[in-house]
Structure 1
Amino acid sequence: MIVEELKLINQRNYKELQLQFHPKLNVIVGENAQGKTNILEAIYVGAIGKSFRTNKDQEMIKMLKENAYIKVKVRKITDKVEIEILLSKEVNKKIKINKVPLIKYGDLLGNLNVVLFSPEDLKIIKEGPNERRRFINNDISQISPKYYYTLTQYNKILQQRNKLLKNYKGNKINIEIWNEQLTNQGASLMIYRRNFIKRIAILAKLMHRKITEGSESLEVQYESNVKVKDDEELKDIKVNFLKKLKELQDVEIRRGLTLVGPHRDDLIFKINGLEVKNFGSQGQQRTSVLSLKLAELELMKGEVGEYPILLLDDVMSELDAKRQNYLIHNLKNIQTFITTTNIEPLNINNDKEYTLFEVVNGEISIISPKK
């Protein structure tokens, strides 16, 4: 999978920009606040449909402009895909795939697969379960649009059930109706998550062992407040979920909130048996996230048949020389985009296959294309 070309109009600080990329390594260098990350953001939006920096599409539109346009041309093993996204301050965004307007947002997912690694990803380890669920949801949605639709349905049902609990008037039949719908969608989500985390945990463990030269062992565990065993089928998990809802029904009515289900799921990271969030050093936390990102690459390759695009946004300064070198020289079969303020520590001068871009206040020049 290769991003061949990117075109931007009125996106962030770019009035108009059109770039062709190297199929292997692209390094974008420049001082802070010059527009480096905007390029990675545009590629990410082409894959996911939303930014990794903001929840508001309007913030991606250039100041004093009403619309912004993003076009990403992608070459895959079997075909070529042209993704167009029109952002507006007045109406919802519009998306086209090969000139055909999309009716459902979820139909965008899977046309371009990306793995992003930015300093913000340390939140996966350091912060609350929302960050870890976001990671899970973004990843599974890219490889299984059906998961995205199930998640959307679950969230709508959850919202309605919470509304009923907050305004409860003694009719338990209504709660039972919503319980049935919630457990149908929720059990499916938990099956997806269990299987995904089981696979990525194995890959992350292997990556971590390689990076730390066998000195550390990383575990990634799925934590749910519903019993989800490895051998349990969909119907079993649904029964477990329904049972838990009934046990907590009176408490939920008092609280006006659904207290059990996949919206409360979490991930636990451990190194040599100790939880990384509470006991890991900064270096161990960074290495854990790096291992997770490298595992994402391999998992997506296994699922879709080709590697996704790797976006490294200002993370090289967060890694020591050993880990930088590992990234640069062990991912040569994956198209990679790196933003950085300083190219020297990357030590890529002897690497023959890359393009170096320099960004100065929204203006981009190619410094050294190496074919």
Structure 2
Amino acid sequence: MSAHLSRLRVRDLRTYVAADVVLGPGLTVVAGPNGAGKTNLLEAAYLACTGRSFRAASDADLVRRGAEAGNVAAEVATPAGPSVFSVGLEPGGQRTRRLRVDGNPVDSLLDHPARPRMSVFLPDRMVLVKGGPALRRSHLDQLLAVLRPGAAPLRRSFHEALRQRNALLSSLRARGADVAAAARELGPWDRTVAEAAAALTAARAGTTQAINPAVQARAEELGLSGVLEIAYRPRSSADPDEVLAALQERHGGDLERGFTHHGPHRDDLAVRRDGRLITRFGSQGEQRMALLALLLGETDVIEDATGQRPVLLLDDVMSELDAERRARLVALIRGRGQALVTVTEAAHVPGAEDPDVGRIDVVPGAAESVRVAAGGD
């Protein structure tokens, strides 16, 4: 059994004065009109289990207007027994986020073994498909850290070496150093950056290869025509000697700019269908399907690697899908762990009336669980 949320209590968070909902381990439909607070409920679940929001938000933004403090707590069912994760928010206090597990203060929730992992679909996350490469690099590195915890330091090591090399380049440029003099001082950092860059590039390439079969399978099951491919586009080699040679060849250009222009900090992921970028040759609905295939495929790979299936938080996922693709999506997520899906009308989720599907109706300022089901796994 994967860890899942069994209950969520919210006080003075966003639009909520208070909410207390019971959750089953399967599919739960969160229904309500626009502006009622459905996304806020998903945000509360994410906040309780990670200590952070999935939206750019300060504590002052999170605490309900007019309230001095807020709190969210999630009861989590795990194979080892229940745990309670909570986050207290007090914008005026010295420590704005008070994190606790089973009542005990902790510095972070992210590394706790009982914490359920989360996979989030938001309309804003379409930037993973349509936005700039920095977002896709960050997403890939987060996935790498989950699939290969031992590789998590690779990104930090590379960026620390890059920061040091860039600081030296800026200093050399300010001093008016020529290329020959710069090369002598850059030598040790060239080697350090090259080794860190090659290791990170190889790890990213391996992660991309690992998720591609699952992503392609989910795209087909969702009804996306053609072959969907997540293609890693590195700007440097996975061979440290080749990266070193490339850095040395670019001494002049880097000195002129004052920063390093070559390396994995410029990598990208291309989302292609039949070899063509889906951002250029796909409709909005097809791009949404590609993002769903990516997230669902990653969820499968994470479960295979860790033995724990992430909780799916799917916000406004049905709005641009036709009836057939809605049915395909529900067929993919039902019976495969916990999923919370927000919709303006419950009828937008095929099978929402079935007894094994949980239901939360949300009205402005409050959430009421009108049907709580076991939510079959």
- Structure 1-normalised TM-score? 0.87
Return the match for 2:337 from 323, 334, 339.
334
Return the match for 1:121 from 111, 121, 125.
125
What secondary structure sits across from 1:319 in the alignment?
coil
Cα distance change of structure 1 residues 333 and 13 upon mapping to structure 2, 3 Å threshold: same
**2:211 is the alignment partner of 1:200:** yes
Q: Is the 8 A contact 2:326 2:349 kept in 1?
A: yes
Cα distance change of structure 1 residues 141 and 102 upon mapping to structure 2, 3 Å threshold: farther
**Aligned equivalents of 2:98 and 2:196: distance in 1?**
28
Unaligned runs of 5+ in 2: none
- Structure 2-normalised TM-score? 0.86
What secondary structure sits across from 1:330 in the alignment?
helix
What secondary structure sits across from 1:318 in the alignment?
coil
**Aligned equivalents of 1:201 and 1:157: distance in 2?**
30
The structure 1 segments of at least 4 consecutive aligned residues displaced by more than 6 Å after TM superposition are none
What secondary structure sits across from 2:372 in the alignment?
strand
Alignment coverage as a number of residue pairs: 362
Larger radius of gyration: 2
| Structure 2 match to 1:316 | 318
**Aligned equivalents of 2:11 and 2:32: distance in 1?**
21
Amino acid at match of 2:304: G
Cα distance change of structure 1 residues 98 and 164 upon mapping to structure 2, 3 Å threshold: farther
Alignment of 1:122-201 (within 5 A): 122-168=126-172, 169=175, 170=177, 172=183, 175-201=186-212
**Aligned equivalents of 2:201 and 2:113: distance in 1?**
20
Structure 1 position 265, deviation (Å): 1.4
**Aligned equivalents of 1:257 and 1:309: distance in 2?**
41
Structure 1 position 223, deviation (Å): 0.6
Please, which moves more after superposition, 88-97 or 342-351? 88-97
Structure 1 position 38, deviation (Å): 1.2
| Structure 2 match to 1:25 | 27
Cα distance change of structure 1 residues 283 and 34 upon mapping to structure 2, 3 Å threshold: closer
| Structure 1 match to 2:42 | 40
**Aligned equivalents of 1:354 and 1:220: distance in 2?**
33
Cα deviation digits, residues 265-298 of structure 1 (max 9, x gap): 1111211221212222223212211211220121
What secondary structure sits across from 1:107 in the alignment?
coil
The answer to which structure, 1 or 2, has the higher relative contact order (CA under 8 A, 6+ apart) is: 2
Cα distance change of structure 1 residues 133 and 21 upon mapping to structure 2, 3 Å threshold: same
Q: Is the 8 A contact 1:13 1:35 kept in 2?
A: yes
**2:246 is the alignment partner of 1:244:** yes
**2:18 is the alignment partner of 1:9:** no
| Structure 1 match to 2:76 | 74
Amino acid at match of 2:132: G
What secondary structure sits across from 2:216 in the alignment?
helix
| Structure 2 match to 1:233 | none
Amino acid at match of 1:264: R
Unaligned runs of 5+ in 1: 229-236
Q: Is the 8 A contact 1:107 1:145 kept in 2?
A: no
**Aligned equivalents of 1:250 and 1:211: distance in 2?**
50
Q: Is the 8 A contact 2:326 2:350 kept in 1?
A: no
| Structure 2 match to 1:301 | 303
Q: Is the 8 A contact 2:48 2:87 kept in 1?
A: yes
What secondary structure sits across from 2:84 in the alignment?
strand
Amino acid at match of 1:226: S
When the two chains are superposed, the root-mean-square deviation of aligned CA atoms in Å is 2.6
